[in-house]
């Protein structure tokens, strides 16, 4: 914690960036009695609330409803002239995003955090320059938190223009589903948008350089999602290399080589580049202030308490590396604020950060994959419970996928958990809590789960890792 008697400043702490990491750090600082300011040039909430997590999930909710309506006759619902229109769904997604962004403004005011509108840059010596509409002012603080986020990555052969070659931002603002779309990158972002556009009638092709979709997930999870997407008539090419993209008169020509070495050339309406993100660390004054960046990736280098190489300067969220996830950034924001206030007692457990993909079927995981556990030489037992054995899933007509639990035999702790299927992104929190508390799989089973619920599959997965599942 900085010496608060050393000098007079405008604020105790200034946060540059109002995304999940930044605004949460600001709120926590306010709760701890620090005089805080949050500098943000755009809408509060950052990428996640405005052009990322939240509006995308709103679109995915619409897409799921569209998919369910296609089989509504099984519920005794019939109608004439079934038609879909992306426009109203896109409009609804903006309404949801705007509501939450306005909510962040309320929370800052509630916690006595000043929202300083403008673009913030470090000047060194505890000074921050804020530029707004051509006007510049300097504010001072004893501590400064960098929370400048990240942006979509462009590649030499895949240059984003948001006209024909979209980033996730461009894909989010379309009011009409195109006839055809190629998605380059089969991570969470790529698979979610593939799901959305397929539901609204677009012919979707997915191209992934690695050997499977969702390459960070367990292989079993990747396989089930790929099979599901293919059943929906999406073409998927893995171990493929994009060679070139060319904007033509009425679309984009994309050339790539598949895993067998065969060349392909597709002419489609649009291409979505979903090949990752890079940190926003340029033009923030980091070099001038002496803040060190990592050699790989250009992220801000931080220690376990989110301190940078310069005393009094901290960094959280995407710009600080590790997993580029909103919930990870929020936790880092709390850690930084508490250490600045002198009450810090914990750090972020990067080995227990959940991954979530909100396509249908949903995918969620925490901890090690089966392959990673075996590579580490752990003596493991794997339990896998299919949704086909769960009454609630069957009743809902959503029984694709499984719950998979990887148990370390030595202490019977959960070293990894993987869920594909209904509400996977909600259910994974039970395993996150279990791992945080170092629970054994026996303890997960003995905590009574209500029937009939999806949560029963969590207990059954735990039992499966003991070799004694009850309902398969």
Is the pLDDT assigned to residue 55 strictly greater than 50? yes
- Ranges of beta strands (E only) in 95-159 are 114-117, 119-124, 127-132, 135-146, 150-152
**Quick check: 438 and 413 in contact, CB under 8 A?**
yes
- Kindly tell me if the per-residue pLDDT of 459 is higher than 50: yes
Distance CA 348, CA 207 (A): 34
The per-residue pLDDT of the chain, averaged, comes to 96
Asked whether the predicted pLDDT for residue 66 surpasses 80, the reply is yes
| pLDDT on residue 2 | 45
User: What pLDDT is recorded for position 5?
Assistant: 46
Per-residue pLDDT of 175-215, as tens digits, reads 999 999 999 999 999 999 999 999 999 999 999 999 999 99
Q: Does the structure show a pLDDT above 60 at 76?
A: yes
The CA–CA distances, whole Å, from 297 to 154, 278, 331, 353 equal: 14, 7, 21, 20
Arithmetic mean of pLDDT, 85-100: 96
Ramachandran bin of 165, using left for φ above 0, alpha for ψ from -120 to 50, beta for the remaining angles: beta
Give yes or no for residue 326 having a pLDDT over 80. Answer: yes
pLDDT, position 472: 87
Taking residues 418-430, report their average pLDDT. Answer: 98
For residues 318, 323, 329, 333, the Cα torsion angle rounded to the nearest 10 degrees is: -100
Confidence of residue 347 (pLDDT cuts 50, 70, 90): very high
- What are φ and ψ of residue 58, in 5° steps? -65, -45
Query: Helix or strand or coil: residue 216?
Result: coil
**pLDDT level of residue 359 (50, 70, 90 thresholds):** very high
| Mean pLDDT on 391-400 | 96
pLDDT in tens, 113-130: 999 999 999 999 999 999
Give the pLDDT band (50/70/90) at residue 82.
confident
Q: What residues are labeled active site? A: 451
394, pLDDT greater than 70: yes
Report the relative pairing of strands 135-146 and 251-257 from DSSP bridges.
unpaired
Task: Note the pLDDT tens digit of each residue in 19-50.
Answer: 999 999 999 999 999 999 999 999 999 999 99
∠ CA(327), CA(329), CA(333), 5° rounding?
120
Q: Residue 383: beta bridge partners? A: 405
Q: In the chain, what percentage of residues exceed pLDDT 90?
A: 96
pLDDT tens by residue, 231-280: 999 999 999 999 999 999 999 999 999 999 999 999 999 999 999 999 99
3 has a pLDDT exceeding 90: no
Confidence tier at 4 by pLDDT (50, 70, 90): very low
* pLDDT value of residue 127: 97
Mean pLDDT, range 301-320, rounded to an integer: 98
Ranking 2-6, 65-69, 333-337, 397-401 by mean pLDDT, the lowest is: 2-6
pLDDT of residue 7: 67
Q: Are 220 and 417 in contact (CB under 8 A)?
A: no
CB atoms within 10 A of CB 288: 11
Partners of 247 in the beta sheet? Answer: 252
- DSSP strands (E only) in 269-345: 270-273, 277-279, 313-315
Check pLDDT > 60 for residue 156: yes
| Long-range pairs of 212-216 with CB within 8 A, sequence gap ≥ 24 | 212/186, 212/238, 213/186, 213/238, 214/186, 214/187, 214/188, 214/357, 214/363, 215/186, 215/187, 216/187, 216/355
**pTM reported for the whole predicted model:** 0.95
**Residue 161 CA to chain centroid, in angstroms?**
23
């Amino acid at each position: 914690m900085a010496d608060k008697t050393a000098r007079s400043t405008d604020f105790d702490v200034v946060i540059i960036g109002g995304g999940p990491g930044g605004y949460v750090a600001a709120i926590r600082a306010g709760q701890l009695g620090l005089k805080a300011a949050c500098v943000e040039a755009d809408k509060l909430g950052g990428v996640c609330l405005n052009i990322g997590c939240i509006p995308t999930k709103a679109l995915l909710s619409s897409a799921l409803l569209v998919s369910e309506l296609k089989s509504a006759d099984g519920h005794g619902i019939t109608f004439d002239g079934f038609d879909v229109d992306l426009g109203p769904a896109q409009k609804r997604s903006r309404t949801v995003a705007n509501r939450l962004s306005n909510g962040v403004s309320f929370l800052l005011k509630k916690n006595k955090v000043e929202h300083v509108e403008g673009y913030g840059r470090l000047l060194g010596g505890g000074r921050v320059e804020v530029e707004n509409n051509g006007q510049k002012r300097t504010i001072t603080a004893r501590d400064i938190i960098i929370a400048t986020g990240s942006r979509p990555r462009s590649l030499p052969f895949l240059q984003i223009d948001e006209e024909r070659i979209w980033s996730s931002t461009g894909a989010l603002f379309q009011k009409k589903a195109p006839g055809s779309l190629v998605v380059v990158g089969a991570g969470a972002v790529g698979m979610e948008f593939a799901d959305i556009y397929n539901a609204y009638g677009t012919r979707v092709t997915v191209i992934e350089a690695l050997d499977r979709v969702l390459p960070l997930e367990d292989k079993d999870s990747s396989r089930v999602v790929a099979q599901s997407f293919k059943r929906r008539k999406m073409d998927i090419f893995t171990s493929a290399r994009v060679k070139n993209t060319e904007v033509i008169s009425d679309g984009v020509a994309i050339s790539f080589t598949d895993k067998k070495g065969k060349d392909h050339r597709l002419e489609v309406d649009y291409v979505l580049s979903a090949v990752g993100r890079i940190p926003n660390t340029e033009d923030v004054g980091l070099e001038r202030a002496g803040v060190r960046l990592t050699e790989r990736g250009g992220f801000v280098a931080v220690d376990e308490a989110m301190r940078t190489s310069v005393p009094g300067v901290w960094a959280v969220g995407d710009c600080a590396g590790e997993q580029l996830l909103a919930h990870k950034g929020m936790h880092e924001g709390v850690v930084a604020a508490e250490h600045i206030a002198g009450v810090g007692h914990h750090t972020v457990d990067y080995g227990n950060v959940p991954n979530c993909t909100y396509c249908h079927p949903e995918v969620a995981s925490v901890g090690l994959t089966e392959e990673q556990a075996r590579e580490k030489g752990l003596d493991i037992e794997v339990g896998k419970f299919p949704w086909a054995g769960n009454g609630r899933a069957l009743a809902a007509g959503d029984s694709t996928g499984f719950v998979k639990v990887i148990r370390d035999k030595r202490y019977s702790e959960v070293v990894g958990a993987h869920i594909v299927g209904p509400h996977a992104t909600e259910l994974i929190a039970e395993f996150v809590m279990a791992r945080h508390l170092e629970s054994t799989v026996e303890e997960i089973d003995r905590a009574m789960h209500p029937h009939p619920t999806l949560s029963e599959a969590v207990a059954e997965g735990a039992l499966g890792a003991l070799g004694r599942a009850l309902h398969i």
